[in-house]
A and B are shown apart, each in its own frame.
Chain A
Amino acid sequence: MAQFRVCPDSGFYFDKSAESLMKANAVAGAVCLLIAGILALGVILTRWQEVHLLPADLFYQVLTGHGINALIFWIIFFEMAILYFASSTLLRTRLAAPKWAWAGFALMIVGAVMNNVAVLQGNSSVMMTSYAPMQAAPHFYLGLILFAVGALVGCFVFLGTLVIAKDNRTYEGSVPLVTFGALTACIIAIFTIASGAIILVPTFLWSIGYINHIDAEMYRVIWWAMGHSSQQINVAAHVSVWYLIVGILFGARPMSEKVSRSAFLLYILFLQLASAHHILVDPGISSEWKIFNTSYAMYLAVLASMIHGLTVPGSMEVAQRAKGYTKGLFEWLRKAPWGNPVFSGFFFSLIIFGFIGGITGVVMGTEQINLIIHNTIYVPAHFHATVAVGTTLAFMALTYLLIPVLFRRALFLPWVAKMQPYVFSAGMTLMILFMLGAGTLGVSRRHWDMDFTGAALSFEYPGTAYTMMAVAGIGGVLSVLGGAMYLVVTVGSLLFGKKLDEAAGLLQSFGVPMASGSYNVEQPERLMMAPKLAVEEHGNGGFEAPGTFILAMTLLVCFVVYYFINWDYLASVWPLS
Chain B
Amino acid sequence: MSSFLPPSERIWWKVPVGKEEIVWIGIALIWSLIMFFMMPYWHIYGKQNLSNEAYQITAPQFQAKVDAMVEKYKVGEEAGIPIVRPPAGSDIYMLGRLWQWYPIFELEKDQSYRVHLSSMDWQHGFSLQPVNINLQIVPGYDMVVTMTPDQAGEYTVICNEYCGIGHHTMLGKIYVKEN
B60 in contact (CB, < 8 A)? no
Query: Is A133 touching B121 in the complex (CB atoms < 8 A)?
Result: yes
B28 nearest CB neighbor, chain A only: A306
Q: A560-B31, A574-B133 are in contact. Are A529 and B50 (CB under 8 A)?
A: no
B177 in contact (CB, < 8 A)? no
A330 in contact (CB, < 8 A)? no
Query: Is A295 touching B20 in the complex (CB atoms < 8 A)?
Result: no
From 326 to 385 in chain A, residues with beta carbon under 8 angstroms from any chain B beta carbon are: 362, 366-368, 370-376
Question: Contact check: which of A57, A177, A455 meets B4 at CB < 8 Å?
Answer: A177
Query: Is A530 touching B50 in the complex (CB atoms < 8 A)?
Result: no
Given contacts A256-B21, A306-B31, A376-B160, 17 further A-B contacts (CB under 8 A): A176-B3, A177-B7, A281-B50, A283-B117, A284-B52, A298-B32, A366-B35, A372-B132, A375-B125, A442-B130, A457-B173, A527-B6, A529-B8, A539-B17, A549-B23, A574-B133, A574-B149
Chain A residues engaging chain B, CB cutoff 8 angstroms: 56-57, 60, 90, 127, 131, 133-134, 171-179, 215-217, 220, 243-244, 246-248, 251-259, 279, 281-287, 291, 295, 298-300, 302-303, 306-307, 310-311, 314-315, 362, 366-368, 370-376, 440-442, 444-449, 452-459, 461-462, 527-533, 538-546, 548-549, 552, 556, 559-560, 563, 567, 570-571, 573-577
- Bitwise, B137-164 to A at CB < 8 A (1) or not (0) is 1111111011111110000101111111
List, sorted by A's number, 20 A–B pairs whose CB atoms are closer than 8 Å. A56-B167, A134-B164, A173-B12, A174-B6, A176-B2, A176-B5, A257-B13, A366-B35, A375-B161, A441-B130, A442-B132, A452-B158, A538-B15, A543-B18, A556-B27, A560-B31, A571-B47, A573-B132, A575-B47, A576-B148
User: With A and B bound together, what is the CA distance between A410 and B18 in angstroms?
Assistant: 40
Query: Is A559 touching B31 in the complex (CB atoms < 8 A)?
Result: yes
Q: How large is the interface on B (under 10, 10 to 19, 20 to 34, 35 or more residues)?
A: 35 or more
B131 in contact (CB, < 8 A)? yes
A126 nearest CB neighbor, chain B only: B162
A300 partner residues in chain B, CB cutoff 8 A: 32
B136 partner residues in chain A, CB cutoff 8 A: 220, 279, 281-283, 374-375
User: With A and B bound together, what is the CA distance between A577 and B134 in angstroms?
Assistant: 14
Q: A60-B162, A307-B25, A456-B171 are in contact. Are A174 and B122 (CB under 8 A)?
A: no
B118 nearest CB neighbor, chain A only: A283
A462 partner residues in chain B, CB cutoff 8 A: 130
Query: Is A131 touching B171 in the complex (CB atoms < 8 A)?
Result: no
Question: Contact check: which of A287, A373, A530 meets B134 at CB < 8 Å?
Answer: A373
A287 partner residues in chain B, CB cutoff 8 A: 39, 43, 49-50, 52
Query: Is A567 touching B6 in the complex (CB atoms < 8 A)?
Result: no
B90 partner residues in chain A, CB cutoff 8 A: none
Question: Contact check: which of B125, B141, B165 meets A444 at CB < 8 Å?
Answer: B125
Question: Contact check: which of B6, B137, B171 meets A530 at CB < 8 Å?
Answer: B6
Query: Is B50 touching A576 in the complex (CB atoms < 8 A)?
Result: yes
A91 nearest CB neighbor, chain B only: B6
A307 nearest CB neighbor, chain B only: B25
A459 partner residues in chain B, CB cutoff 8 A: 129, 156, 158, 171
B132 partner residues in chain A, CB cutoff 8 A: 372, 376, 440-442, 573
User: With A and B bound together, what is the CA distance between A444 and B172 in angstroms?
Assistant: 15
